[in-house]
Structure 1
Amino acid sequence: MKVTVIGCGYLGATHAASMAELGYDVLGVEIDSGKRESLASGKVPFYEPGLEDLLATHVASGKLRFTDSFEEAGAFGEIHFVCVGTPQRHDGLGADVRYVDAAVESLAPHLGEGALVVGKSTVPVGTAERLAARIAELAPGVDAELAWNPEFLREGFAVEDTLRPDRLVFGVASDRSEKVLRDFYAPILATETPVVVTDFATAELVKVSANAFLATKISFINAVAEVCEAAGGDVVDLADAIGHDDRIGRKFLNAGIGFGGGCLPKDIRAFLSRAGELGVEDTMSFLRQVDDINLRQRSRVVQIATTMLGGSVARSRIAVWGAAFKPESDDVRDSPALSIAGQLHLRGALVSVYDPKANDTARAMFPTLDYAESALLAARDADLLLHLTEWPEFRLVDLGVLGETVRNKLVIDGRNKLDAQAWRDAGWTVRGLGRP
């Protein structure tokens, strides 16, 4: 079976390389010439562990190549995966689906007989039904169909999540579409991966519901963390205790500076926006509080920093460890760490940022900040150190050397991942979120 992947950003490049790994001949369609040329040379224009090796292997083998031609894609593929982005709209909270629409409308006139177009992008519910009708208009007489197969990738684990997913969801309108998807994913289904077969609307809602639930869980523990601070409790011990309840679980109960990235923030806003369009906004209104609590964590860290520095951060040297929204990524979209660094800078602090992988992407977004080439260089003469992205190297730093590097031994652990007792034994004042 020949496969095309429409849109070769984070999702598409991962899917294309992974499908080549499964043995398929894959053609990636990417209209951005710089990105396309990079991928065609075996280079990934972002950081994702394991992906570049996979990409380079299959570009070299000829199993994977790239084009900007939808006509070529239509002639080549039997199954076409739409993986373009759906960013937040500039004029509201909703998802911008123009790129999805454009991809389908560019591909549809070139579809071959019996082709299956498979949406993987995260879209507002109702999009698939509309696109299915559009394909029927633009590709009459070729019996092409649409299915929806949402992705559930975690940045830092995207290749693993693609090749060994914890579930597959097929939103289909016919038995034939289901069969094509089952045949296509046969190598993965052979490992007893669970499959949920459902309709378009449910498949679309699965992804945004999953992200909304995870975001709610994070904001819940961050709200509890503030209560712990007021009452003298320890949110880490609390999360450990409630996490033993298998109805709750320990994952995503890590109090800190909150969530970011290109999915959770914009997906919960888009979900709320679409609920409003459907007339059920009040039912989902709690997502506004989830979003508000998440954004509040950033201002809380700025307030704590201000207090620790005597009421003002102006002219203070502040070291920020971390810029990516999470470790094993260079993604700084809606990054809490970079947002905090930016707020401190605007208040007059001299901010030096270091991230093992995201310095370049952070510099492109916040060029006015200073960027260091190591954790120790960022901390030179610092009045305050902020640990904001939990890269493993930050937990392995030599505290003796670090103590001689900074001006004041003050640290805010925005992820509650440092060994607070070890730092205190080394003479540091340590402030966590939701901890004594």
Structure 2
Amino acid sequence: MSMELPPVVEHPRLTVVGTGYLGATHAVCMAILGYEVLGLDVDEKKVRQLNSGVVPFFEPGLPEKLQEALGSGRLRFTTDYDDAAAFGDVHFICVGTPQTSGSAAADMTYVDSAFSELARRITSRSLLVGKSTVPTGTAARLTETVRSLSPAGAALEVAWNPEFLREGFAVKDTLHPDRLVFGVESDWAQAQLEAAFAPIIAEGTPVVVSDLATSELVKVAANSFLATKISFINAMAEVCEATGADVSLLAQALSLDSRIGGRFLNPGLGFGGGCLPKDIRAFTHRADELGVGQATAFLREVDGINDRRRTRAVDVLRELVGGDLRGARIACLGAAFKPNSDDVRDAPALHVAQLLHDEGARVAVYDPEAMPNARRKYPELSYADSAEEAVERADAVALLTEWQEFRDADPAALGALVTHRRLLDARHALDADTYRAAGWEVRALGRPKQSRPLTLVSRTPDGRD
């Protein structure tokens, strides 16, 4: 690292490129923290919505923060790269890295474009900060690219600052993260990032300063570990089903071991969303490219276990309706990949609904927030406007996303609407004894057909002990 530190902008102006889930949240929260922020997106409709105070996706607490940030005068959104290049001292790149069609690799089109379009317009010392989840080696490659494109040349630096947001808790995780990771190549880049996160660092938030490659690995390593823990308990659910054991009691016992803990040890339908599935696939793909594929080969089985939970849910529903799903009316409660989100990317709930539909079941899907996204992605499915409408005359009900609305439902009231009181609790979210007392036949993945009363360790909704 350089011994002479170039001037650092102590209260930098920030741009945020990409105003999807990550970028919009980051832009809003940084403005709340007191920075002048310009959000950039090529989607004119999204920019108009944000400038008018409308968040184009569901995230609790963010609409109120957007209104506050716009009202402060510190936040606006644009489609103009020239405006962004001239405005910012620190540029955060928050565009998506979806899975490439026909491959496990990450699609780097949007990241490469964002860095390149900014670089060719920047004429003075600036810091380009990647927040997207990328294959290791990306930051080093982009450093060469931007310096070759930019009039600023070597005065343009690349850093990496991975995000660790949980959908449903994104505002809290941005304003009060459990750690910050700065991947940098110079003391100046570190100091400039520290200035860009000064209020968060002042709270005592731990900061890990690393090289670029390590910072790129942190996010995929974290997601791989969490995915492994989820698939582990679901693998134990498979064993429990074969032995008559109860995976919920097993998870409770394991969670009391201080070396293991209870977070992400919740058995059920498995993980989904826009991060864990595609990130572990891209990680294994990149490891293969680097010649260390054997080190991450286990992640393919982690992915496979996760997929088997979905087919197992269909197996249980088939058993519940007598062995043949053709013509059976199945109420699917949930479409989002998790509660407090409208994200249906790789959503287990919708995958189960699709598998049921493919076997000839008459499916009715309902979700409190994800219905528009679900309809766009799975137009062939049938949808209901309420949980009550979904379960009406159902031969079986499947709880597939554990929204509080479904947790609070009255078993007797639901029972009065269905044809047969048969329930699959694929998320271990309901009190099976209460439902059985109301005349329901209840099944849960990894639990015996008649399970003993269970008192679980108390957990908050985000899975923390």
Taking structure 1 as the reference length, the TM-score comes to: 0.99
> Which of 329, 338, 345 in structure 1 is aligned with 2:350?
338
Q: Is the 8 A contact 1:78 1:112 kept in 2?
A: no
SS of alignment partner, residue 34 of structure 1:
helix
Amino acid at match of 1:369: L
> Which of 208, 217, 228 in structure 2 is aligned with 1:196?
208
**For residues 69 and 137 of structure 1, what CA distance do their matches in structure 2 show?**
22
> Which of 398, 413, 432 in structure 2 is aligned with 1:386?
398
SS of alignment partner, residue 147 of structure 1:
strand
Q: Which residue is 2:14 aligned to?
A: 3
SS of alignment partner, residue 356 of structure 1:
coil
1:221 aligns with 2:239: no
SS of alignment partner, residue 242 of structure 2:
helix
Amino acid at match of 1:92: S
> Which of 297, 304, 322 in structure 2 is aligned with 1:292?
304
**For residues 364 and 72 of structure 1, what CA distance do their matches in structure 2 show?**
34
- Please say which of residues 406-415 and 305-314 is displaced more in the overlay: 305-314
Q: Which residue is 2:284 aligned to?
A: 272
Q: Which residue is 2:453 aligned to?
A: none
Q: Which residue is 1:366 aligned to?
A: 378
1:211 aligns with 2:218: no
**For residues 413 and 366 of structure 2, what CA distance do their matches in structure 1 show?**
17
1:95 aligns with 2:106: yes
Q: Which residue is 1:124 aligned to?
A: 135
**For residues 175 and 31 of structure 1, what CA distance do their matches in structure 2 show?**
33
Q: Note the alpha carbon deviations across 1:291-329, whole angstroms, 9 max, x for none.
A: 010001100111111111111111111000000000000
Amino acid at match of 2:47: R
Q: Note the alpha carbon deviations across 1:163-211, whole angstroms, 9 max, x for none.
A: 0000000000000000111111110011111110000000000000000
SS of alignment partner, residue 110 of structure 1:
coil
Q: Is the 8 A contact 2:340 2:403 kept in 1?
A: yes
SS of alignment partner, residue 38 of structure 2:
strand
Q: Which residue is 1:407 aligned to?
A: 419
SS of alignment partner, residue 49 of structure 1:
coil
1:182 aligns with 2:201: no
Q: Which residue is 2:69 aligned to?
A: 58
**For residues 329 and 258 of structure 1, what CA distance do their matches in structure 2 show?**
16
1:375 aligns with 2:387: yes
TM-superposed CA distance for 1:231, in Å, is 1.2
**For residues 427 and 102 of structure 2, what CA distance do their matches in structure 1 show?**
33
Amino acid at match of 2:400: L
**For residues 373 and 388 of structure 2, what CA distance do their matches in structure 1 show?**
20
**For residues 52 and 21 of structure 1, what CA distance do their matches in structure 2 show?**
12
Matches within 5 A, 1:255-266: 255-266=267-278
**For residues 140 and 368 of structure 1, what CA distance do their matches in structure 2 show?**
51
TM-superposed CA distance for 1:60, in Å, is 3.0
SS of alignment partner, residue 16 of structure 2:
strand
SS of alignment partner, residue 373 of structure 1:
coil
- Please say which of residues 316-325 and 132-141 is displaced more in the overlay: 132-141
Q: Note the alpha carbon deviations across 1:385-406, whole angstroms, 9 max, x for none.
A: 0001000111111222111100
TM-superposed CA distance for 1:112, in Å, is 4.1
1:115 aligns with 2:126: yes
Amino acid at match of 1:84: V
Q: Is the 8 A contact 2:160 2:216 kept in 1?
A: yes
**For residues 258 and 369 of structure 2, what CA distance do their matches in structure 1 show?**
35
> Which of 25, 28, 35 in structure 2 is aligned with 1:14?
25
Q: Is the 8 A contact 1:5 1:82 kept in 2?
A: yes
**For residues 445 and 346 of structure 2, what CA distance do their matches in structure 1 show?**
20
1:136 aligns with 2:147: yes
Amino acid at match of 1:114: R
**For residues 55 and 246 of structure 1, what CA distance do their matches in structure 2 show?**
39
Amino acid at match of 2:418: V
Q: Is the 8 A contact 1:85 1:99 kept in 2?
A: yes
1:301 aligns with 2:301: no
**For residues 110 and 368 of structure 1, what CA distance do their matches in structure 2 show?**
45
Q: Which residue is 1:39 aligned to?
A: 50
Q: Is the 8 A contact 1:298 1:340 kept in 2?
A: yes
TM-superposed CA distance for 1:68, in Å, is 1.0
Q: Which residue is 2:40 aligned to?
A: 29
TM-superposed CA distance for 1:234, in Å, is 1.1
**For residues 159 and 146 of structure 2, what CA distance do their matches in structure 1 show?**
11
% same residue:
57
**For residues 365 and 413 of structure 2, what CA distance do their matches in structure 1 show?**
18
**For residues 363 and 61 of structure 1, what CA distance do their matches in structure 2 show?**
36
TM-superposed CA distance for 1:61, in Å, is 2.8
**For residues 85 and 163 of structure 1, what CA distance do their matches in structure 2 show?**
21
Q: Is the 8 A contact 2:123 2:152 kept in 1?
A: no
**For residues 50 and 183 of structure 2, what CA distance do their matches in structure 1 show?**
30
**For residues 128 and 31 of structure 1, what CA distance do their matches in structure 2 show?**
23
**For residues 47 and 141 of structure 1, what CA distance do their matches in structure 2 show?**
39
Q: Note the alpha carbon deviations across 1:263-309, whole angstroms, 9 max, x for none.
A: 00000000000000000111110011000100011001111111111
**For residues 218 and 198 of structure 2, what CA distance do their matches in structure 1 show?**
22
Taking structure 2 as the reference length, the TM-score comes to: 0.93
**For residues 295 and 147 of structure 2, what CA distance do their matches in structure 1 show?**
34
Measured on the aligned residues, the alpha-carbon RMSD in Å equals 0.9
Q: Note the alpha carbon deviations across 1:97-150, whole angstroms, 9 max, x for none.
A: 110000000000222422111000000000000011111111244511111000
**For residues 371 and 378 of structure 2, what CA distance do their matches in structure 1 show?**
10
**For residues 123 and 15 of structure 2, what CA distance do their matches in structure 1 show?**
12
**For residues 159 and 139 of structure 1, what CA distance do their matches in structure 2 show?**
34
Q: Which residue is 2:457 aligned to?
A: none
Q: Which residue is 1:161 aligned to?
A: 173
TM-superposed CA distance for 1:91, in Å, is 2.7
